[in-house]
Amino acid sequence: MKTTPRSFLRFALVLLAIVILWEGGRAVFNVSPLVMPGVLSVLSSLGTALASGEILHQLAFSFSLIGMGIGIGAGLAVLALIIGAQSRVAAEVMGTVASLFHPLPGIALLPVVILWFGVGKMAIVVIIVHSVFWPLLTNLQAGYRSVSPTYHLVGRNLEMSPTSFAVRIAAPATVPYILAGLRIAWARSWRALISAEMIFGAVAAHGGIGWFLHTRRVFMDTAGLFAGILVVMLVGSLVERVVFGFVERSTIDRWGMNG
Amino acid sequence: MADSAEALSVLNIVKRYGDHLVLPGVSLSVGAREIVCLLGPSGCGKSTLAKIAASLLEPDDGTVRVNGVPVTAPDANRFMIFQEQDQIFPWKTALGNVTFPLRLDGVPDWRARGIETLREVGLEAAAEKYPHQLSGGMRQRVALARAFAMRPSVLIMDEPFASVDASLRFDLQDLLVRLVAEHSQAVLFVTHEIDESIRLAERIVVMSDDGAVTGEHTVPIDRPRDARSPVGSRLAHALFEQLSEHPSR
């Protein structure tokens, strides 16, 4: 979606409406600030957390986990795709396994992951890898199957090796599927990450943004809690709209491959 | 026939799909600088023969020769152009598509040659455009340019203009004739349209719907051609009669 003056105005108006409803509700029902803090105190808490670097620090940690998880998950998915391309039996087995694991929320695996990998960074990365691997593999396989038979003929006509064909033709032809897979992978891993961090974030001083939320609740810092929620919302939508938006505009939109 | 040396020949090609005999032992040849049209009804096996001639499909029997040498593996010296407009890559510009095979092949002046070939097909101004910004006719021009830029000795074309508007098809046919005259390729051109074959071919090979070659005609009309000239009309009539001899089973 493009950012136009109109969409920006709409966004600002919606934001304003939420603030008015929030403050109005607080005033009318005389709610304690421990339950619903004022907008200004949420903003000042956000300012403090930003200024002290705490939120950014926790975010950076969270992103390093997601980066690692997406890197490993994507690498494994490409590997699985290559194996599946060699043997139909392998592809069918993987398809069945994927249909079982794809719908399983990462957080549901947490108890088992803790049992196997202990509490800490490793466990979270494993959960993220799970959140990334299956949707990416499913999309990569669908993309691979969708590569036009004409491309295969063109590739053979040009005497391309299987590797050269995969890199120069199959990969760009699959970009719409890769991006769709990455979008799902991002959404799932962001949710899984925050859930997992809230359950056990305390790896030394690093707990990630989920742990930040959790500690605000423990300390009854409600304004800080809402500040954290704001950050989670902003980061999530920033990645979806700005990062993915940019990548899509410079690839599939430009190529007319966005359906 | 322009040259006695046969650039491309297929000999006694047999192809079956399961129990269905598609090609019962077909032979034809194309001389250097010659355009041969393989004319036949839809589903007669002419596309199958074209793929076999490009070694993109293996025959059950028979041989394909290029300049007298038997070949079994595809190579860019026998360049195939397809009907599908998706044969050019949507993620590459017109120029990127034309230079793609050149760069694979390690041609040093790939960029200059790509631009020059785009100019020859009249698409110089569209060099940086992506296929989705081009019309169907322009996309097939890019496909032509991609093939001609490689300077193959044989071009195999499987109804490349069938999905283009009739008015544009004339332009593309003229363009093809001009390019072949300049670059002297041997062309095997598959079509089901009588007029197209008369406009293009030095020789027309007629295939019936059981996959057998039933006739061969040289086209004694000077270029530029008018398929509606008296000679063209007589030939068209003869071809129509020949195509109707074997009604669909």
Compute the radius of gyration of chain B from its Cα atoms: 18
- Would the CB atoms of B130 and A150 count as touching at under 8 Å? no
User: What percentage of chain A carries pLDDT values higher than 90?
Assistant: 63
Domain at A226, CATH number: 1.10.3720.10
Q: Residue B4's pLDDT band (boundaries 50, 70, 90)?
A: very low
A35 domain residue, yes or no = no
Q: Is residue A19 part of a domain?
A: no
Q: What is the pLDDT of residue B1?
A: 40
What pLDDT does residue B2 have? 40
User: Quick one: pLDDT at residue B96?
Assistant: 97
3-state secondary structure chain A: CCCCHHHHHHHHHHHHHHHHHHHHHHHHHCCCCCCCCCHHHHHHHHHHHHHCCHHHHHHHHHHHHHHHHHHHHHHHHHHHHHHHHHCHHHHHHHHHHHHHHCCCCHHHHHHHHHHHHCCCHHHHHHHHHHHHHHHHHHHHHHHHHHCCHHHHHHHHHCCCCHHHHHHHHHHHHCHHHHHHHHHHHHHHHHHHHHHHHHHCCCECCECHHHHHHHHHHHCCCHHHHHHHHHHHHHHHHHHHHHHHHHHHHHCHHHHCCCC
Q: How confident is the model at residue B11 (pLDDT cuts 50, 70, 90)?
A: very high
Q: Which of B72, B77, B91, B102 to mutate to test the interface with A (most CBs of A within 10 A)?
A: B91
- pLDDT tens sequence across A120-131: 888 889 999 999
| Residue whose pair of structure tokens reads 């060099």 in the numeric block | B127
Among B82, B100, B130, beta carbon nearest to A150: B82
pLDDT digits (tens, 9 = 90+) for B30-77: 998 899 999 999 889 999 999 999 999 999 999 999 999 999 999 999
* pLDDT for A202: 54
- Whether A2 is covered by a domain: the verdict is no
DSSP state of B107: -
Sign of dihedral through CA atoms A156, B112, B116, A254? positive
Residue A28 is assigned to a structural domain of this protein: no
Q: Which residue, B167, B220, B152, B189, is CA-closest to B46?
A: B189
Q: Is the dihedral of CA B159, B160, B165, B166 positive or negative?
A: negative
Q: What integer pLDDT is reported at residue A95 of this predicted model?
A: 87
pLDDT reported for residue A3: 66
Say if residues A157 and B56 touch (Cβ distance below 8 Å).
Answer: yes
Average pLDDT, chain B: 91
Q: How does DSSP classify residue B131? A: G
Sign of the C-alpha dihedral, residues B2, B8, B11, B17?
Answer: negative
As a whole number of angstroms, the longest Cα–Cα distance in chain B is 53
Whole-angstrom Cα distance, residue B120 to residue B132? 21
Classify B23 as helix, strand or coil. strand
Cβ atoms < 10 Å from Cβ of A33: 11
Rounded mean pLDDT of A138-153? Answer: 93
Q: Cis (ω within 30 of 0) for the bond into B224? A: yes
Query: Residue B227 corresponds to which tokens in the numbers above?
Result: 């398929």
Instruction: Examine the pLDDT at A158 and tell me if it is beyond 50.
Output: yes
Reduced to 3 states, what is the DSSP secondary structure of residue B112?
Answer: helix
Chain A residues with CB under 8 Å of B56 CB are 153, 156-157
Show residues of chain B in contact with A156, CB under 8 Å: 56, 74
* pLDDT tens-digit readout, A34-61: 899 999 999 999 999 899 988 888 889 8
DSSP B30: E
In sequence order, what DSSP letters do the residues of B41-97 get, joined into one string?
Answer: -TTSSHHHHHHHHTTSS--SEEEEEETTEEE-S--TTEEEE-S-GGGS-TTS-HHHH
Q: Alpha carbon of B151 to those of B105, B117, B184: distances in Å?
A: 12, 10, 9
Mean pLDDT along residues A157-177: 95
How far apart CA B159 and CA A223 sit, in angstroms, is 70
Confidence check: pLDDT of B209 > 90: no
Domain that holds residue A62: 41-255
Asked whether residue A30 is domain-assigned, the answer is: no
Q: What pLDDT sits at residue B249?
A: 44
Whole-model pTM over 0.90? no
Closest partner residue to B76 (CB to CB) among A153, A157, A251 is A157
What are chain B's domains?
Answer: 6-77+152-244 (3.40.50.300), 89-151 (no CATH)
Q: Answer yes or no: are the C-beta atoms of B54 and B80 closer than 8 Å.
A: yes
pLDDT digits (tens, 9 = 90+) for A243-257: 999 999 999 999 999
Q: Is residue A63 part of a domain?
A: yes
Residue A102 and residue A161 in contact, taking contact as beta carbons nearer than 8 Å: no
List the single residue in A159, A164, A256 with the smallest CB-CB distance to B132: A256
Instruction: Residue B132: list chain A partners with CB under 8 A.
Output: 255-257
Tell me if A22 is assigned to some domain: no
Contact (CB, 8 A) for B39 and B197: yes
**pLDDT tier at B5, thresholds 50, 70, 90:** low
In a domain, A202, yes or no: yes
Per-residue model confidence as pLDDT tens digits over B238-247: 998 888 875 5
Contact flag A169-B89 (C-beta cutoff 8 Å): yes
Q: Quick one: pLDDT band at residue B205, thresholds 50, 70, 90?
A: very high
Instruction: Reply yes or no on whether the pLDDT at A201 is more than 70.
Output: no
Report how many domains make up chain A.
1
Answer for the pair A132, A188: CB distance below 8 angstroms, yes or no.
yes
For chain A, give the mean pLDDT: 90
φ and ψ at A88, to 5 degrees?
-70, -35
Model confidence band, residue A208 (pLDDT cutoffs 50, 70, 90)? confident
